[in-house]
Amino acid sequence: MPADNTAGKRISAQELPTNPFVDVGMILFLEDIAEKQGVEGLLPYMINQGAALAEAMPLEDYATWEDFVAALNEGRSIISALEGTQHFAGNVFVTAINPFHEAYGTYIRLMGELLPAHREVVELYNGRVQNAAIESMNIIHQSFRRALVKRVSVAGQPVRYAELAAKGFDGNIRAVPEGWQEVILEKGGISGTQLQMAIRQNSLVTLIYPPPAAEGAQAVETTALAPKALGVAAGEELAELTETTPQPEPVAATAAAATGGDGAKTGEPAQTGEK
């Protein structure tokens, strides 16, 4: 028998074989929940699934911000192990291919169009929790990331996080509106041109920034970003994101009820990377 050279080796998400039965079954399962419980029942299930997966991941602590970025780029961090996230520039990180897009493609090819419940649960999530989803699987994915960053620390303090853009399997984009661009560019340490380039070239664009005491960290402020604010209407062209999007409203108090966690009080920004 040939020797097994994979023992003890962490296999990246890109190396894992896909399974159409799992892809289709996962989407059918969510649709079954929506049929039996409505999207009001589906939303907390998806949020809890993402959070539960994150809580099963190991804790990480890095001595410096540079150590964290190096581990992420090499696939040694839990943030990049499942989806191949890479450092783009400044404090901006990108995922070239959304890990759920193949599942959507397989489902549509074999089963036909997605049920309306997918659009409806996205609208509910964007209105209650975080205005950053372009498709239903973003709910599980973003809930996973919100819980995951709390398990990654630099110099003993958890890193901070905010979603900047998500591109759907159909090419539509939900991204930060003009009202937040100045804050995002400052925290991200990048230019507007670089942000637009990151959005054009990748499925997911994320701001991950260091805690205030992290050695070697770039100079960024620690004011929280309101997660509900980080998004614009689905299907809006990228060029319009810097022209017409108004200043968003702060996150609503109903976020706590949807997530089962600590939501922001009305009129106050919600922290996205720490308790």
pLDDT at 253 > cutoff 60: no
Residue 12: inside a domain, yes or no? Answer: no
> What is the band of 15 on the pLDDT scale with cuts at 50, 70, 90?
low
Choice between 205 and 218, residue whose per-residue pLDDT is larger? 205
- Tens digits of per-residue pLDDT, 41-80? 999 999 999 999 999 999 999 999 999 999 999 999 999 9
Q: How far is CA 126 from CA 26, 146, 175, in A?
A: 22, 15, 12
SS (H, E, C) the chain: CCCCCCCCCCCCHHHCCCCHHHHHHHHHHHHHHHHHHHHHHHHHHHHHHHHHHHHCCCCEEECCHHHHHHHHHCCCCHHHHCCCCEEEECCEEEECCCCCHHHHHHHHHHHCCCCHHHHHHHHHHHHHCCCCCCCCHHHHHHHHHHHHHHHEEECCEECEEEEEEEECCCCCEEECCHHHHHHHHHHHCCCHHHHHHHHHHCCEEEEEECCCCCCCCCCCCCCCCCHHHCCCCCCCCHHHHHCCCCCCCCCCCCHHHHHCCCCCCCCCCCCCCCC
Domain of residue 53 covers 18-259
Residues 6+ apart with CB under 8 A from 244: 178
How confident is the model over 149-158, as a mean pLDDT? 93
How confident is the model over 251-265, as a mean pLDDT? 32
Residue 88: inside a domain, yes or no? Answer: yes
Residue 4: inside a domain, yes or no? Answer: no
Residue 264: inside a domain, yes or no? Answer: no
> What is the band of 18 on the pLDDT scale with cuts at 50, 70, 90?
low
Sign of the torsion formed by the C-alpha atoms of 53, 55, 61 and 64: positive
* Number of domains the chain contains: 1
Residue 270: inside a domain, yes or no? Answer: no
- Tens digits of per-residue pLDDT, 78-125? 999 888 899 999 999 999 988 888 888 888 888 888 999 999 999 999
Q: How far is CA 231 from CA 10, 129, 131, 207, 251, in A?
A: 34, 12, 5, 14, 12
Residue 267: inside a domain, yes or no? Answer: no
What is residue 122's predicted lDDT score, i.e. its pLDDT? 95
pTM equals 0.70
Q: How far is CA 237 from the centre of its chain?
A: 20
- Rg (C-alpha) for the chain, rounded Å, is 18
What is residue 7's predicted lDDT score, i.e. its pLDDT? 43
Residue 3: inside a domain, yes or no? Answer: no
Residue 178: inside a domain, yes or no? Answer: yes
